[in-house]
């Protein structure tokens, strides 16, 4: 039964980490443009490279 004292916090921590990640992703705007994200993978390699420069500069990511 002592294992519970270890497992329950671990389960909660993992769940909490997932939740925190979701919150972060939402605040970061990952869900702002789902349609655009779905379409961006279709953009050609060369175009994507030039386009992503802008993204880098803009988002600081």
Partner 1 sequence: MNAPANPGSPRPAQSLDSRFVVPGMRCAACIARIERGLLDLDGVEAARVNLSAKRVAIRHNPEVDSEFLLGALGRIGFEAQVVDLGSVSKDDGESRMLLRALAVAGFGMMNIMLLSVSVWSGAGGVTRELFHWVSALIALPVVAYAGRPFFASAVAAMRHRRTNMDVPISIGVLLATALSVHETVIGGEHAYFDSAVMLLFFLLAGRALDATMRDRTRAGIGALLSRMGKSARVLAEDGSTRTLAAEDLEKGMVMLVAAGEALAADGVVQDGRSAVDNSMLTGESAPQSVREGDTVHAGSINLGDPIHVRVVAASSDTAIAGIARMMDEAGQSRSRYVRVADRASRLYAPAVHTLALLAFAGWMIAGAGWHQSLVIAIAVLIITCPCALGLAVPAAQVVASGALVRRGLLVKDGSALERLAEVDTALFDKTGTLTLGEPVAAIDHLTPEQKAIGLALAQSSRHPLSRGIATAVEATGIRPASLKAVAEVPGLGVSGMLGEVPVSLTRGREDRAGLASILRIGSESVEITFTDPVREDATPTLDALRAMGVRSRIVSGDRDAAVEALAAQLGLVGEGEKRPESKLALLEALKADGHRLLMVGDGINDGPAMAAAHASIAPGTASDVSQQAADAVFLGSSLMPVAAAIAIARRTMRIVRQNFGFAIGYNVLAVPLAISGLVTPLIAAIAMSVSSLVVVGNSLRLAKTGSEP
2 binds partner 1 (CB under 8 A): no
Largest Cα–Cα distance of the chain, in whole Å? 58
Contact at 8 Å (CB) between 43 and 51?
A: yes
Residues 5-34 as x/- pattern, contact with partner 1 by CB under 8 A: ---x--xx--xx-xx--xx--x-xx-xxxx
For the chain, how many helices (H) and strands (E)?
3, 0
Give me the residues that bind partner 1 (CB under 8 A), please.
Answer: 1, 4, 8, 11-12, 15-16, 18-19, 22-23, 26, 28-29, 31-36, 39-44, 47-48, 50-51, 53-55, 57-61
């Amino acid at each position: 039964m002592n294992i519970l004292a270890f497992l329950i916090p671990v389960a909660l921590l993992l769940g909490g980490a997932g939740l925190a990640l979701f919150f972060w992703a939402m605040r970061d705007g990952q869900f702002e443009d789902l349609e655009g994200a779905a379409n961006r993978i279709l953009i050609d390699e060369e175009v994507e490279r030039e386009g992503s420069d802008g993204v880098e500069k803009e988002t600081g990511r």
